[in-house]
Amino acid sequence: MPQVSQVVIQTPPPAPIVRPPEPAPTPAEIRQQRLAFQRAETRVARELSQQWTNNEPLPPSDQIDIGSRKSQLAATAVEQLRLANWSAKRGAIASAQAAATQTLRTIALLRDTQAGGNLHTQQLNECFVAIRESTDFAGRYGPVDTDAIKRLIEVHQTPTLKQVSTSQLTASRAVEAYLQFAKTRLVEATQGGPLAAEAAMILADVESWVADGAVEPPTEHSKLHASALALTYRRAAVEIAPENPDAAAKLGRTLLRRSIPTAAKDYLLQSVNAEPTRQRVESLLEAAARSGDFILVDQCEKQLAATPLPSELPIQMMSPQDFARTSQTAFTPGFASTPAGTTHNGFSPTPQSPASQSPTPQYRVGTRPAYRTAAPRSSTPLGARTDQIVDPTLPTSPAANRSNGRLLW
């Protein structure tokens, strides 16, 4: 048989891939690269200089500058609180809230001026951040489920729920945790200052009006969130100034309206022991009756019957003519302004001498104000604070701005 030869055809090697040469950078690209390199060098140098300078201590403070700054901050806090009070009385809710918030910021700055750091300002900022972020759980961007709560906690700055499992967490519980954290930071930033307690009470009143529907709530707030925030401010005011009877009385009445008589009784008893008034004893009587403390009920009834307690209603001295002008339906303007000894038609049957004319009597008219920050103090209240400075960190205010240790707004 003929022998068949096998021919092996070898595959030629692949041709080398020829890449086109990279285009030369344009002058604009070269300039951008240089600028980026310069910025990187500048940033590295700045970081190195900060690391070097952070280890150096602060220069000593000038005591004259510190004293001057504290005096200016003290006067600013008083003026801002006065503005917040008058704005609330006029119904300017936004102005009252802004002025009260600025009062708290000024007080925190005053504390930092005394301590030589910025701890109190940081704590107050954390308080307001937590309050703002708590509105996210109140349906600010729609329904809040478990997944939404988890995402919100991750992006928030408030650390109170960062390490907490969200599988059983509800939106209302998250709001409670955030507001509790905010109250703690607010008390730490301003504790011990009566001015801070008054500012917190104004903020609580504003949120109470929103919760009650007296004013339109902001777009990011709900009535339930405003009610919880009002209670947070009231509890903070009591912790900031435990000796303030108005703060304890308002917190007790708020708890009493929310059907928590046992806790309300404790705060109302605290306010009555500090400075009893008829309205506070009556509120304490109601709280004691609803909580089943009949011994305290008997004591309150005896105190109301036997002791002439001062009233929280302000008294305004008015002449008969001024009192007549308050009710135009009962008295005509001409008759109200007729002098003594003259008839309505201007005829006097028996002229009177100046010596025989009796002085115009004065009448006391009690009026209930639409808003009050503090009840007037009696002449000899229990536990009264005589000649007390408005704020322990502030210089003594002029006598014209104080009455029994309280501001005259």
Confidence at residue 4, expressed as pLDDT on a 0 to 100 scale:
61
User: pLDDT tens digits, residue range 1-60?
Assistant: 556 666 667 777 777 777 777 788 888 888 888 888 888 888 888 877 766 555 666 666
Q: Please report, as a single letter, which amino acid is at residue 238.
A: V
β-strand pairing of 363-366 with 406-407: unpaired
Over the chain, what is the mean pLDDT?
A: 78
- Binned at pLDDT 50, 70 and 90, residue 209 comes out as very high
**Which helix (H) or strand (E) segment is 358 a member of?**
none
Q: Please report, as a single letter, which amino acid is at residue 376.
A: P
What pTM value is reported for the model?
A: 0.66
User: pLDDT tens digits, residue range 101-139?
Assistant: 999 999 999 999 888 889 999 999 999 999 999 999 987
Confidence at residue 58, expressed as pLDDT on a 0 to 100 scale:
64
344, 350, 352, 358 alpha-carbon torsion, rounded to 10°: -60
Mean pLDDT of 358-386: 42
Q: Spell out the residues 6+ positions from residue 318 whose beta carbon is closer than 8 angstroms to its own.
A: 326, 362, 363, 364, 365
Task: Give dist(CA 36, CA 28) in Å, integer.
Answer: 12
